């Protein structure tokens, strides 16, 4: 038994989970099936085999509760896992709150975020299927650098389409991918048909995740040695990220602490699902009553103001249609610093659980995010990524509510990544250049009109 008054709660490498958790075994309503983009009929495994290996396709549709983690994947997880849970003693003191605040820190991964949790198994299964080359998109660069690192570990080529504005604003993230041997293109690029079309429409396009996905998918579809990899949204990604929550549960139990509230930021939904779903599982099967809260940006409020329906994952309509909360594939979010949360859609699993009232969502604005990030950094020492700072803001809000009510709740949040490559954003904040965004309802209505008919 560890001591709740210590700062960090560790597990040994032997306590890395042996299995991932799959919430599809337990949710009362499964998401509507993905649809083939041409036929608009439920997509079958053969529809996906041109871009994904069969092992991942089978995980995508699996209803097995626990899926064994391959030995080779667990061995690579040992480079940084189990990740520590910190008790935020100094933050609690700074807020003068009776709440107990814990955070699971995924930023100690060598790629700097939780993304490596799924990059490693994705590359593993692709290699097993004989694939030599993977394509992907990246926004802020956290996913691209994780996949690049994982490809390097397994000896696969990695081609990353990086959203142009991030490519320009975050040159260090690009350097990191190149250091691990990845080829990086600013998207939209001249490298694909769809990229050339985007450029013809707008030569100065800043790019978007939806566009970059279209490029990466086109690149993969055309080459038999090449598959595509996605860093969030899909069920197999959500499954891989369950290591976060499974470890956290073991760690919290070691100090006999049980969260009342679990919080994470939410873009595509993978780190949120990673820490949250093992707690939803307990809610569903053990009658626990843990509040599980997704925090998203006001500038891209997929879960709080989106529509629950079918939409494409990319801009050009090449991916299967997914049942999810969406702002419409043509919605162009403002250039907020949390580039990893600038995505029009949400994970079908997260969306379905939200629709069924089994989790919560809230949106927060940019100035508040950075204020929370600074409070956190100055008390805990860690400089958080702007994405992860949404979770911090959510946790601080709950801790201050406890101060108001005098309740001593236990709050656990996922600190999904560090901000070492985001210092420009902090410069802007400290010099008063960060602005809030308020999204008019008409903008949302406009994008929703263009949703595909199914």
Q: Site residues (CB under 8 A) for a second copy?
A: 2, 6-8, 10, 12-13, 75, 78-80, 90, 108, 110-112, 149, 152-153, 171-172, 175-176, 178-181, 374, 377-378, 380-383, 418, 420-421, 423-424, 426-427, 430
Closest CA to 272 of 416, 63, 110, 372: 416
* Tokens matching residue 94: 């700074």
Measured between alpha carbons, how far is residue 297 from residues 19, 96, 224, 228, 265 in Å? Answer: 32, 26, 38, 27, 9
Closest CA to 305 of 387, 362, 366: 362
In the complex, least distance from residue 280 CB atom to a second copy, rounded to whole angstroms:
30
Maximum CA extent, the chain: 62
Contact 373, 392 (CB under 8 A): yes
Helix (H) or strand (E) run with residue 101 in it? strand 100-105
Q: Which lies closer to a second copy via its Cβ, residue 344 or residue 418?
A: 418
In the complex, least distance from residue 236 CB atom to a second copy, rounded to whole angstroms:
22
Q: Which lies closer to a second copy via its Cβ, residue 172 or residue 443?
A: 172
Q: Which lies closer to a second copy via its Cβ, residue 173 or residue 236?
A: 173
**What whole-number distance in Å separates Cα of residue 197 and Cα of residue 375?**
44
Q: Which lies closer to a second copy via its Cβ, residue 243 or residue 451?
A: 243
In the complex, least distance from residue 220 CB atom to a second copy, rounded to whole angstroms:
24
Burial class (CB in 10 A: 0-12, 13-18, 19+), 230: buried
In the complex, least distance from residue 130 CB atom to a second copy, rounded to whole angstroms:
23
In the complex, least distance from residue 357 CB atom to a second copy, rounded to whole angstroms:
38
In this structure, what is the dihedral angle of CA atoms 277, 332, 386, 177, given to the nearest 10 degrees?
A: 90
Neighbours of 70 (CB within 10 A): 15
Q: Which lies closer to a second copy via its Cβ, residue 175 or residue 408?
A: 175
Closest CA to 17 of 86, 68, 65: 68
Q: Which lies closer to a second copy via its Cβ, residue 6 or residue 407?
A: 6
Q: Which lies closer to a second copy via its Cβ, residue 8 or residue 403?
A: 8
Q: Which lies closer to a second copy via its Cβ, residue 90 or residue 305?
A: 90
Rg (CA), the chain: 20
Closest CA to 135 of 111, 121, 151, 155: 151
In the complex, least distance from residue 173 CB atom to a second copy, rounded to whole angstroms:
8
In the complex, least distance from residue 387 CB atom to a second copy, rounded to whole angstroms:
16
Q: Which lies closer to a second copy via its Cβ, residue 10 or residue 45?
A: 10
In the complex, least distance from residue 95 CB atom to a second copy, rounded to whole angstroms:
16
Contact 151, 181 (CB under 8 A): yes
In the complex, least distance from residue 111 CB atom to a second copy, rounded to whole angstroms:
7
Neighbours of 133 (CB within 10 A): 17
């Amino acid at each position: 038994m560890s001591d709740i008054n210590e700062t960090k709660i560790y597990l040994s490498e032997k306590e890395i989970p042996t299995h991932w958790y799959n919430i599809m075994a337990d949710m009362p309503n499964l998401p509507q099936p993905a649809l083939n983009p041409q036929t608009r009929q439920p997509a079958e495994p053969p529809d996906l085999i041109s871009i994904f290996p069969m092992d991942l396709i089978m995980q995508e549709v699996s209803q097995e509760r626990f899926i064994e983690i391959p030995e080779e994947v667990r061995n690579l997880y040992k480079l940084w896992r189990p990740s520590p849970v910190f008790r935020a003693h100094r933050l609690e003191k700074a807020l003068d709150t009776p709440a107990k605040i814990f955070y699971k820190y995924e930023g100690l991964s060598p790629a700097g975020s939780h993304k490596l949790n799924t990059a490693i198994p994705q590359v593993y299964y692709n290699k097993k299927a004989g694939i030599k080359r993977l394509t992907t998109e990246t926004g802020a660069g956290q996913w691209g650098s994780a996949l690049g690192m994982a490809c390097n570990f397994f000896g696969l080529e990695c081609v990353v389409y990086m959203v142009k504005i991030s490519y320009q604003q975050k040159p260090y993230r690009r350097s990191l991918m190149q250091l691990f041997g990845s080829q990086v293109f600013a998207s939209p690029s001249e490298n694909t048909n769809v990229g050339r079309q985007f450029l013809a429409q707008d030569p100065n396009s800043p790019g978007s995740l939806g566009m970059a996905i279209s490029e990466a998918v086109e690149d993969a579809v055309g080459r038999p040695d090449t598959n595509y990899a996605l860093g969030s949204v899909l069920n197999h990604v959500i499954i891989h990220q369950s290591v976060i929550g499974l470890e956290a549960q073991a760690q919290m139990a070691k100090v006999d602490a049980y969260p009342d509230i679990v919080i994470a930021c939410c873009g595509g939904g993978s780190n949120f699902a990673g820490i949250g779903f093992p707690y939803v599982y307990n809610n569903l099967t053990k009658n626990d009553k843990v509040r599980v809260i997704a925090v998203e940006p006001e500038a891209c409020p997929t879960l709080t103001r989106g529509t629950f329906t079918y939409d494409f994952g990319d801009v050009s309509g090449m991916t299967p249609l997914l049942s999810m909360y969406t702002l419409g594939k043509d919605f162009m979010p403002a250039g907020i610093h949390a580039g990893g949360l600038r995505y029009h859609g949400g994970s079908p699993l997260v969306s379905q659980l939200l629709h069924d009232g089994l989790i919560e969502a809230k949106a927060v604005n940019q100035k508040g995010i950075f204020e929370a990030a600074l409070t956190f950094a100055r008390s805990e020492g860690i400089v958080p990524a702007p994405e992860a700072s949404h979770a911090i803001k959510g946790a601080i809000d709950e801790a201050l509510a406890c101060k108001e009510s005098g309740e001593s709740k236990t709050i656990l949040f996922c600190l999904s990544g560090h901000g070492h490559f985001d210092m420009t954003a902090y410069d802007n904040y400290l010099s008063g250049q960060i602005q809030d965004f308020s999204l008019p309802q008409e903008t949302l209505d406009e994008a929703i009109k263009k949703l595909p008919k199914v």
